[in-house]
Structure 1
Amino acid sequence: MGQGLSCAASQEHGLFTAVQFGDLEILEAVLERDSSLLHQTTAYDRQSVLHIAAANGQIEILSMLLDRSLNPDLLNRHKQTPLMLAAMHGKIACVEKLLEAGANVLMFDSLNGRTCLHYAAYYGHSNCLKAILSAAQSSPVAVSWGYARFVNIRDGRGATPLHLAARQRRPDCVHILLDNGALVCASTGGYGYPGSTPLHLAARGGSLDCIRELLAWGADRLQRDASGRIPYMVAFKHKHGACAALLNPSSAEPLVWPSPLKFISELDEDAKLLLERALMEANKEREKSILKGTVYSYPSPSHSDVGIDDDISEASDTELCCICFEQVCTIEVQDCSHQMCAHCTLALCCHNKPNPTTASLTPPVCPFCRSSIARLAVAKSKGFDEADLEVGDVSSSKLRRSRRSRNFSEGSSSFKGLSAVGTLGKMGGRGSGRIAADNEWVDKL
Structure 2
Amino acid sequence: MGQGLSCAANHVHGLFTAVQFGDAETVETLLQRNPSLIHQTTVYDRQSALHIAAANGQIEIVSMLLGRSVKPDLLNRHKQTPLMLAAMHGRFSCVQTLIEAGANILMFDSVNGRTCLHYAAYYGHSDCLQVILSAARSSHVAASWGYSRFVNIRDGKGATPLHLAARQRRPECVHLLLDSGALVCASTGGYGFPGSTPLHLAARGGSIDCIRELLAWGADRLQIDASGRIPYMVALKHKRGACAALLNPSSAEPLVWPSPLKFISELNAEAKALLEQALMEANREREKDILKGTAYSLPSPSYSDTGTDDNISEASDTELCGICFDQVCTIEVQDCGHQMCASCTIALCCHNKPNPTTASLNAPICPFCRSSIAQLVVANVKTGHDIDHDIASSKLRRSRKSRNLSEGSSSFKGLSAMGSFGKMGGRGPGQIVAENEWVDKS
Structure 1 residue 419 displacement after superposition: 3.8
Q: In 2, Cα distance between the equivalents of 1:363 and 1:338? A: 16
User: Identical aligned pairs, as a percentage?
Assistant: 79
Structure 1 residue 6 displacement after superposition: 0.6
Structure 1 residue 335 displacement after superposition: 3.9
Counterpart in 2 of 1:291?
Answer: 291
Query: What does the per-residue CA deviation read over 1:202-235, in whole Å, with 9 as the maximum and x for residues that have no partner?
Result: 1111111111111111111111000011111111
Alignment of 1:397 onto 2:391: yes
Structure 1 residue 169 displacement after superposition: 0.5
* Structural mapping, 1:50-61, within 5 Å: 50-61=50-61
RMSD: 2.9
Q: Secondary structure at the match of 1:113?
A: coil
Give the alignment's TM-score, normalised by structure 2.
0.84
Counterpart in 1 of 2:129?
Answer: 129
* Structural mapping, 1:209-228, within 5 Å: 209-228=209-228
Residue pair 1:348, 1:418 contacting (<8 A) in 2 also:
no
Q: More deviation in 266-275 or 94-103?
A: 266-275
Structure 1 residue 333 displacement after superposition: 1.9
Decide whether aligned partners of structure 1 residues 319 and 307 sit closer, same or farther in structure 2, where only a CA change above 3 A counts: farther
Structure 1 residue 328 displacement after superposition: 1.1
Counterpart in 2 of 1:239?
Answer: 239
Give the alignment's TM-score, normalised by structure 1.
0.83
Residue pair 2:324, 2:413 contacting (<8 A) in 1 also:
no
Q: In 2, Cα distance between the equivalents of 1:169 and 1:354? A: 23
Structure 1 residue 423 displacement after superposition: 9.3
* Structural mapping, 1:360-439, within 5 Å: 360-382=360-382, 388-389=385-386, 393=388, 395-398=389-392, 419-420=411-412
Q: In 2, Cα distance between the equivalents of 1:358 and 1:173? A: 25
Q: In 1, Cα distance between the equivalents of 2:410 and 2:292? A: 30
Counterpart in 1 of 2:344?
Answer: 344
Residue pair 1:186, 1:197 contacting (<8 A) in 2 also:
yes
Structure 1 residue 253 displacement after superposition: 1.3
Q: In 2, Cα distance between the equivalents of 1:209 and 1:361? A: 28
Structure 1 residue 350 displacement after superposition: 3.2
Structure 1 residue 306 displacement after superposition: 11
Which amino acid letter does the alignment assign opposite residue 64 of structure 1?
M
Structure 1 residue 362 displacement after superposition: 0.8
Alignment of 1:142 onto 2:142: yes
Q: Secondary structure at the match of 1:267?
A: coil
Q: In 1, Cα distance between the equivalents of 2:278 and 2:186? A: 27
Decide whether aligned partners of structure 1 residues 313 and 56 sit closer, same or farther in structure 2, where only a CA change above 3 A counts: closer
Which amino acid letter does the alignment assign opposite residue 48 of structure 1?
S
Residue pair 1:268, 1:375 contacting (<8 A) in 2 also:
no
Counterpart in 2 of 1:437?
Answer: none
Counterpart in 2 of 1:113?
Answer: 113
Query: What does the per-residue CA deviation read over 1:374-401, in whole Å, with 9 as the maximum and x for residues that have no partner?
Result: 332222211xxx7755x6x4x4413666
Structure 1 residue 316 displacement after superposition: 2.8
Which amino acid letter does the alignment assign opposite residue 19 of structure 1?
V
Decide whether aligned partners of structure 1 residues 33 and 185 sit closer, same or farther in structure 2, where only a CA change above 3 A counts: same
Decide whether aligned partners of structure 1 residues 378 and 280 sit closer, same or farther in structure 2, where only a CA change above 3 A counts: same
Counterpart in 2 of 1:11?
Answer: 11
Decide whether aligned partners of structure 1 residues 28 and 242 sit closer, same or farther in structure 2, where only a CA change above 3 A counts: same
Counterpart in 1 of 2:77?
Answer: 77
Residue pair 1:184, 1:197 contacting (<8 A) in 2 also:
yes
Which amino acid letter does the alignment assign opposite residue 311 of structure 1?
N
Q: In 2, Cα distance between the equivalents of 1:149 and 1:267? A: 23
Q: In 1, Cα distance between the equivalents of 2:139 and 2:263? A: 26
Structure 1 residue 150 displacement after superposition: 0.3
Which amino acid letter does the alignment assign opposite residue 3 of structure 1?
Q
Q: Secondary structure at the match of 1:319?
A: coil
Structure 1 residue 305 displacement after superposition: 4.4
Structure 1 residue 357 displacement after superposition: 10
Decide whether aligned partners of structure 1 residues 48 and 359 sit closer, same or farther in structure 2, where only a CA change above 3 A counts: closer
Q: In 1, Cα distance between the equivalents of 2:203 and 2:18? A: 44
Decide whether aligned partners of structure 1 residues 224 and 61 sit closer, same or farther in structure 2, where only a CA change above 3 A counts: same
Alignment of 1:192 onto 2:171: no
Gaps of 5+ in 1: 295-303, 409-416, 425-445
Residue pair 2:259, 2:265 contacting (<8 A) in 1 also:
no
Query: What does the per-residue CA deviation read over 1:90-132, in whole Å, with 9 as the maximum and x for residues that have no partner?
Result: 0000000001111110000000000000000000001000010
Report 1 or 2 for greater relative contact order, CA contacts < 8 Å, sequence distance ≥ 6: 2
Residue pair 1:157, 1:188 contacting (<8 A) in 2 also:
yes
Structure 1 residue 356 displacement after superposition: 11
Residue pair 1:260, 1:362 contacting (<8 A) in 2 also:
no
Structure 1 residue 318 displacement after superposition: 2.5
Q: More deviation in 38-47 or 325-334?
A: 325-334
Q: In 2, Cα distance between the equivalents of 1:60 and 1:215? A: 43
**Aligned residue-pair number:** 400
Structure 1 residue 351 displacement after superposition: 7.2
